[in-house]
Structure 1
Amino acid sequence: MRLSTITNWAYGATVALTLASGATMLMASTAQKQERDAVQQRYELDHATSLVAEDIGVLSGLARQYAISGSLADLTAYRHELKELMKVEDRARHIRDAGASSAELYDLQQVFRQADALLDEQDAAIKVRGQGDRGQAIAILFSPEYERELERIQAGVVRFQSRIDQRTEMAMQEAVRTSRLWRTTSEVMLGITGLLFLCVLYFIFRRRVLHPVVKLSDVVTRLAAQDYAVEPPVYDQIDEIGDMAQALRIFRENGIERQRLEQERDADRSVRDLLSRMTQRMQNCDTIDDLRGIVERFIPSIVPSAAGSLFLLDCERDAMVEFCSWSEPQQSRSSFPVSACWALRRGGLHKAAGNVIDVPCDHLELTGKGVADTICLPLVARRGTLGLLYFEFAVGGASATVSDVYLNILAENVGLALDNLRLRDALQDMAMADPLTSLSNRRKLEVALESHVAEARPDLSISCAMIDIDHFKRFNDEYGHDAGDAVLRAVGKALKDAVRSDDHVFRYGGEEFLLLMPGLGPEEAARRVEGIRASIAALRLRHADRILGEVHVSAGVACAPAHCDRDGLVHAADAALYEAKRNGRNRVAIAPLKELEGRAAG
């Protein structure tokens, strides 16, 4: 006999047995429903009679409380509770509807009549108490007869509930016996059905279900462990097994995609964290060298697949000059004109290769392998273009995985840090410079002296010259303050031309200037200052088509450690200047040793 025929006969027998079993189960369910109905009826009757006893007790308590206290609040509570109660006739009708027998209703009617009598006594007591007779009201409500009426009501309720319990128990026993009979019959039929089904369909189950399920179970276990390398088996048949295999393939593809998204999310979070920490560090930079260290430290981690450089703008040459680099970039020159980069021309990110074809920058050293995969990012801030961030990727690199958003944020943060540093330097220069002569001012002098004192060797000489313009007030009085400013500028320029570094000449205040000469002894310093005095005396100044006449200066020279210690250098030079003015001006005086020794002793 063919397997399909056996299967059809088995299906037919199974359907018949299943229908018969279902019928017996319905009969058993009907018997169980009768049992539940009996229990429900018992509950409703018990509940109804319990409410009668409880209500009588509550009303009795409120009436007694009013009889004792005479409080209107107690009387109001009694009347409110009385209004909320159901009428005796309504309760009787409800209990009859719940299925009580005539004998049970007779017992309950006795309870209701006793309850009505008790309510009459309560009304009488309340009326007496309202007339002010407290003792009579208490005597009515606390009399032995009143207590016996309450007990009879409770006994009647218990008797009624006992009758209900007996009747309900008999009904429940009958329903349980019927239910067990039908349930047993149903279980026997279900057992026969199950045995037949297992015997006939064993081969089909084994061939069509068991083997595929074992394979799919192994796949499910590995997928549950997030091992998405497993390949689900392919079943072409259109059934549950095929649907499961298809679902597992979809689940595996979703898992692979979810893993990829999680990796991208983790990488994105890591880049954002690096950018945040890099920005915080750059905000605390004090010098451009601090910025160099931060850039070389963080950018290789933010863009690990690329080498690169940071170029800064050389304003004098109008060119980009490499400031620092990482991972040894090879394809860009270290210095090039601003016009050689398309990113600087366009003012935005520029890619020379990738998914979109574009023009390569002229600063790239192209080879025969084609256009290099590079990215140029201009560093633009409030003060204009400051520099360029340059990235280059190896052949077959991952430039496409680098988000342009993060690259632009990186360039914006680096440009902002550069702008802040340059603004700070400009403000510092303005604070340290004299606006009239462009020389360093007295504040810069204090910084320079501290630097020389801290860095110079103890045995190294450092000389100081205090220079003052003789009769400077004459220029202001005769020719005006503009002429006086011109004289100050001319003397400042002469001093600047006479020294090797601008950091060694200062405008001390008014018409006084100061010269630092590290490494020079007293005689050499005096000779240099004498030459400066002579060069200033040779000046022929004109202002507003008027000849201003000769300009003469007096100077005092002091040297440490020959004349004094370094802390007293300016004071010693100032004392020597005073000596030069006292001796006739237009001369150079050297601080005398005996004067310094005497002052030190004092």
Structure 2
Amino acid sequence: MRLRHLLFLTQLPFCAMVLAAFVILQGSLDRRVQALAQVSETRTQLERTAELLTHVLDMETGVRGFVIAGQPAFLEPYYRGEAAYPVVINGLRGDATLGDENRARLGQVTDLLRQWQAEVAQPEIRLRAERPAEAEALVRSGRGKRILDQVRAGVSEIEQTLRQRLQSMDANAQAQLGQFQRTLAGVAVTLLLLSVTITLLTSRLLTGPLAALGRGTQRVTDQGAVTVTERGPREYRELAGAFNLMSRGVQEARESSAHAAAELGRRNAWLRDLAQLSDALQAARSVQEGAAILTRALPHLLPGTSGQLLQHNASRNLLLPAAAWGEGMSTPGPDRCWALRRGETQGGEAGRPFMPDCAAQEGTYLCAPLFSHGETLGLLRVHPAPGVDPEGLRGSLNDVARQVALALASLRLQDRLLQQSIRDPLTGLFNRRHLESQLAEGVVAAQGGEEALSVVALDIDHFKRLNDTFGHDAGDAALVRVSAALRELAPPGSTPARPGGEEFTLLLPHVGVAQAAALAETLRARVEGLDLAHDGISLGQVTVSLGVAGLPPGGTGEALIAAADQALYAAKRAGRNRVVVAGAPALQGQAARS
């Protein structure tokens, strides 16, 4: 029997066992997947019941806020909930696994919500606009609360039923998991025993001949090149010659392997350094920080060179130095750089007439372009020292350039995303999220170092009338002009922000209330003097009202913003176009000038 036939026969029991194990495990896994799918469906139903309660709460608080404050903005949660809760109810009703009892409860909840909208919510909204006293009386009657309490009770019963079902499913799933684990363990043990048995039998059949072959080659393994005397019969001489040839080949292979291993070790060490550079660049938070890392790393990764990293400025069509090491090099223009034109590493030697005139650089140089997703990021330009082979350097330079391009693209994207996340797209000022973050940091710094912290809150006067008269585009133009004035007057280290609408805020660390009030008056006068026009139409005089507040000892950021807002409201009540300091009378611009 041939060896391959023997090996095939020894594997037949193992293959049959593997096939049987697959069938058993597949059945257990299918049951496990079905149980998990049922659990997932029930969890989705629970999430929808929670979402329904959220929409009910939004509608209730929206109506209540509108009745109390009378401002249409408070109705936004109500209208969102009114539009969203039917979708959630339809989703629950359309789930076949919900059950008849829960579906009946859901119908009752739907009827109660419609009753509350028809008998309570809509009348309260209508009466608040026409007869506020009657709206408040309707709220105090408690009818809406009783209906919504029934709604919440109905949803809670549905949720309780679903949670009981989920607990039962979890218990069933755990039981199936235990069965699956026991089945898997049994299959694994059986396969292991079968594999060990087959291995022992096969090795017993093969180790005899292999041991004899090993003893014959041990001398070559231990001594390297071994030469035997080529004498005796012809067959023996041929065998001795073949053995001597093999022995010399083994020795040459050893020497070649040692050289290759040493080269591979150096290459692996270089790749580890490159990987460390990649990790460091991924941890950098800005292009400048990444450039500082490259300034230290590139001389180590590209030994025997000097060079520079040039960053491409698309708006100005310039290559700007970002990092440099070794001797200084000239900076080429993007239009004269053949590496950027051709999109591949270029090398040349200054003074050779057939090479493109990339830059007036003495000696040999290599330029590796930096691209990412079709975007030109810059150029990595190196000048090998005498004795360094440029062609041998090219591969390392390309590897480094790829990592630098990826890191530079990531840092640029990170910077763009950061700016998008903290900037208002219309005005370019900081948004509410960044303002709140800076306010929290400013309060901690101010109280820790007992330093001043002030806030200026401002609002464009009669902005709604401007929008209604000239249109929203004109209103946006006014917002942009006022934000430009705020940005120009904001001192370094301050945070000019637009929290929303026509409201602006200026956070002033290390600035006292008096200085903040003077800055606010300057801003008020600057805006008052603006000549605003849109599409050739004059928008008339635009003014702002401003409130100023300072952080008292032990105060909070929320209290500081609230104080500035109250001062702003006081300026509005006092006639607008003026500055009010929290706890001080209004400062009207015209009175100050007179």
Query: After superposition, where does 1:221-260 map in structure 2 within 5 Å?
Result: 224=223, 255-260=254-259
**Residue 471 (structure 1) aligned to one of 462, 469, 484:** 462
Equivalent residue number for residue 337 of structure 2: 341
Pick closer, same or farther for the CA change 1:438–1:241 going to 2, 3 Å. Answer: closer
Tell me the residue number matched to 1:359. 355
Aligned residue among 500, 508, 529 for 2:499 = 508
> In 2, distance between residues paired with 1:463 and 1:375?
55
Q: Is the contact made by 2:295 and 2:323 (CA closer than 8 Å) also made in structure 1?
A: yes
1:347, distance to aligned residue in structure 2 (A): 1.9
Aligned to 1:524: 515
Partner SS state of residue 481, structure 2: helix
Partner of 2:432: 442
- Tell whether 2:546 aligns with 1:555: yes
Q: Which position in structure 2 is the counterpart of 1:264? A: 263
Equivalent in the alignment of 2:307? 308
2:374 and 2:582 map into 1 onto residues whose CA distance is: 49
Cα deviation for residue 583 of structure 1 reads 1.7
Residue in 1 aligned with 2:399?
409
Kindly report which structure 2 residues correspond to 1:262-411, keeping only aligned pairs within 5 A, or say none.
262-292=261-291, 294-296=293-295, 298-315=297-314, 317-325=316-324, 328-333=325-330, 335-353=331-349, 359=355, 362-366=358-362, 372-382=363-373, 384-402=375-393, 404=395, 406-411=396-401
Partner residue of 2:139? none
Give, as a single letter, the amino acid of the residue that structure 2 aligns with 1:342: W
Aligned CA distance change for structure 1 residues 240 and 542 (closer, same or farther; 3 Å): closer
How many angstroms apart in 2 are the aligned matches of 1:246 and 1:331?
A: 56
Pair 1:301–1:540, CA change in 2 (3 A): closer
- In structure 2, the CA distance between the partners of 1:458 and 1:468, relative to structure 1 (3 Å rule), is same
Name the CA distance, whole Å, in 2 between partners of 1:583 and 1:302: 69
**Where does residue 426 of structure 1 map in the other structure?**
416
1:499 aligns with 2:490: yes
Identity over aligned pairs, percent = 34
Displacement of 1:380: 0.8
Are 1:590 and 2:581 matched, yes or no? yes
Moved over 4 A (4+): 223-226, 239-256, 454-457, 561-567
Distance 1:470 1:578 in 2: 11
Contact 1:522 1:562 in 2 (8 A): no
1:58-207 map, 5 Å? none
**Relative to 1, partners in 2 of residues 1:418 and 1:336: Cα closer, same or farther, differing over 3 Å?**
same
Structure 2: which amino acid aligns with 1:546? I
Which amino acid is 2:413 matched to?
L
What are the Cα deviations for residues 363-396 of structure 1, in whole angstroms up to 9, with x where unaligned? 4532xxxxx2322111111261112222222111
Distance in 2 (CA, whole Å) between partners of 1:451 and 1:338 is 42
- Unaligned 5+ residue runs, structure 1? 1-219, 227-238, 367-371, 595-602
Asked whether the equivalents of residues 556 and 588 of structure 1 are also in contact (C-alpha less than 8 Å), the reply is yes
SS, match of residue 430 in structure 2: coil
- Which structure's CA Rg is the greater one? 1
Cα distance change on mapping 1:558 and 1:438 into 2, 3 Å: same
Contact preservation (8 Å) 1:575, 1:591: yes
Aligned residue for 2:456, secondary structure, equals strand
The change in CA–CA distance for 1:263 and 1:564 in structure 2 (over 3 A counts) is closer
Q: Which deviations, in whole Å up to 9, do the C-alpha atoms of 1:321-358 show, x marking residues without a partner?
A: 33223xx421513x54323533223221012259x997
1:551 match: secondary structure: coil
Partner of 1:402: helix, strand, or coil?
helix
Q: Could you tell me how far apart the structure 2 residues matched to 1:563 and 1:541 are? A: 42
**Which deviations, in whole Å up to 9, do the C-alpha atoms of 1:468-507 show, x marking residues without a partner?**
1111111122222222222212211222222245953111
Matched to 1:437, the amino acid is: T
CA gap of 1:469–1:593, structure 2 versus 1, over 3 A, is closer
2:311 is paired with a residue whose SS is strand
Q: Which residue of 1 aligns with 2:532?
A: 541
Structure 2: distance between partners of 1:543 and 1:583: 29
Aligned residues: 354
Query: 3-state DSSP class of the match of 2:539?
Result: strand
**Which of 569, 577, 597 lines up with 2:560 in the alignment?**
569
What TM-score, normalized by structure 1, do the two folds share? 0.51
For 1:583, the aligned partner's letter is A
| Distance change in 2, residues 1:514/1:352 (3 Å) | same
Counterpart contact for 2:532–2:540, Cα < 8 Å: yes
Give 1:444's aligned amino acid. Answer: H
1:182-204, Cα deviation, whole Å (9 max, x unpaired):
xxxxxxxxxxxxxxxxxxxxxxx
Query: What is the aligned partner in structure 2 of residue 52 from structure 1?
Result: none
- Secondary structure at the residue paired with 2:487? helix
Q: Normalising to structure 2: TM-score of the pair?
A: 0.52
CA distance in 2, matches of 1:455, 1:338: 45
* Cα separation, partners in 2 of 1:447 and 1:338, compared to 1, 3 Å: farther
- State the shift of 1:510 in Å: 0.9
CA distance in 2, matches of 1:402, 1:323: 22
1:533 to 1:293, Cα distance in 2 relative to 1, 3 A: closer
Cα distance between partner residues in 1 of 2:554 and 2:515: 14
Cα shift at 1:225 = 7.4
